[in-house]
Structure formats: C-alpha cells, structure tokens
Amino acid sequence: MNILRIIASILLPPLGVFLTVGIGPAFWINILLTLLGYIPGIIHAIWVISKQQEAYRA
C-alpha cells in the first residue's frame, strides 16, 4: 500500500499525505509546500509516509 501512496505523492503530493494521515496539520503544510514549489511538496509527502510507516512498525 505504501508504494501506491508514494506514487500518489509524486503525482499529487497532498493526495499521498491525505491517504496517510488524513486532513490535519501535515496535510495543510504539504499543500503550502506544494504551492510554493512542487519538489518540496514531494519531499515532505514522502517524509510523512516514511514516518508513518516507522510509527506503525514500533
């Protein structure tokens, strides 16, 4: 499932964050970063997905 989230994050970064954490602070931060620059939005989205995966494993 994380592969689909990462692909969604590359195509539309807020979508990947939404699928991972829902509508919350990380989602709004990602929208802001995506509007300021597409690449920062992608980086943030992948970071959120990886942090969620680490929290799930712990």
Model confidence pLDDT, tens digit, residues 2-35? 899 999 999 999 999 999 999 999 999 999 999 9
**What residue numbers bound the domain in which 43 lies?**
2-57
Domain count, the chain: 1
* pLDDT > 80? residue 39: yes
Looking at residue 25, its pLDDT comes to 96
Contact (Cβ atoms closer than 8 angstroms) between residue 26 and residue 37? no
Q: Measured between alpha carbons, how far is residue 46 from residues 23, 27, 36, 53 in Å?
A: 16, 12, 17, 11
The predicted model scores a pTM of 0.88
Looking at residue 1, its pLDDT comes to 67
Looking at residue 53, its pLDDT comes to 74
